[in-house]
Structure 1
Amino acid sequence: MESNARRLVAIVDDDPSVLRALGRLVRSLGFDAETHASAEALLERVVAAPPDAVLLDLHLPGLRGPDAIHALRHRSTRARIIVVTGLDHPGAREACLAAGAAAYLAKPVGRDELAALLCAAEPERFL
């Protein structure tokens, strides 16, 4: 990829309003955004168009949480996975980080916090 190519962030959430809001936020930070209503939908696409980062809702119908992270890691080891949740529960943060998530954020996601996480990826992730 060329050094000036825009980086792709996949956003996975079952709430259409959250998908729209996060999509706008990600684009305002200078990234391309692709939205998916389920982890399964992203998994169907990830091999053909691997994202540089994934914003993954913790509570999705079907595949979710650490299981979704493991499935993404199996198909795309380079994506930086950032879990976002509006309904935190004990042990969820630890389980997601142990499964391979780079970060765990509470909704609503702050612009500065998200920018720092997306830009803090190791250089080889965003070449």
Structure 2
Amino acid sequence: MTVSLERVLVVEDDMSVSRALARAVRSLGFDVATFGTGEELLRSPVSAGPAALLLDLHLPGLSGADLILVLRQHFPDLRIIVMTGRDIGGARDACLSAGAELYITKPISRADLGLVLGARPPGRERE
């Protein structure tokens, strides 16, 4: 399976947050694939490549932190951006040590999401 430079994966168990993130990411010019759990992502036909992953830290089943470790083994170049609404002590350091590129707190504005994903203004080609 392949992921384009334009693809952003979202793993978020709160469906309303997942839909809002997907809309915002699409509005920035990216393709989006959403998953409710880490297990869904791992079972999917979507593979890593030059994509970004927006990953909720607190998930049912396989936690965001554990998913980072699994993904790093198989997809070392995947940009992993951890999101959380409950920033608990030590979580940032643990996620960054496991291989996340960024650790951000929710809610995330569309402008901040664009910065994090490296969105280009409309009409500009991706390099």
TM-score (norm 2): 0.84
The correspondence for 2:48, drawn from 47, 50, 71, is 50
Aligned residues: 117
SS at match of 1:81: strand
Q: Does 1:81 align with 2:80?
A: yes
AA of the residue aligned to 1:12: V
For 2:48, the aligned partner's letter is: P
Give, in whole Å, the separation in 1 of the partners of 2:52 and 2:69: 15
Q: Could you list the per-position Cα deviations for residues 73-112 of structure 1 after superposition, in whole angstroms to 9, with x for gaps in the alignment? A: 1222221000001111000001001111010111111222
Is there any run of 5+ residues in structure 2 with no aligned partner, and where?
A: 120-125
Q: Which consecutive aligned stretches of 4+ in structure 1 deviate over 3 angstroms post-superposition? A: none
Q: How does 1:1-16 map to 2 (within 5 A)?
A: 7-16=6-15
Residue 25 of structure 1 aligns to a residue whose secondary structure is helix
Identity percentage of aligned residues = 50
- Residues of 2 paired with 1:25 and 1:78: CA distance? 24
**One-letter amino acid of the counterpart of residue 79, structure 2:** R
Structure with bigger helix share is 1
Letter in 2 for 1:92: A
Q: In 2, Cα distance between the equivalents of 1:6 and 1:78?
A: 12
Matches for 1:1-127 after TM superposition, within 5 Å: 7-45=6-44, 48-50=46-48, 52-119=51-118
- Cα pair 1:6 1:30 within 8 Å, conserved: no
Q: TM-score, normalised by structure 1?
A: 0.84
Aligned alpha-carbon RMSD (Å): 1.9
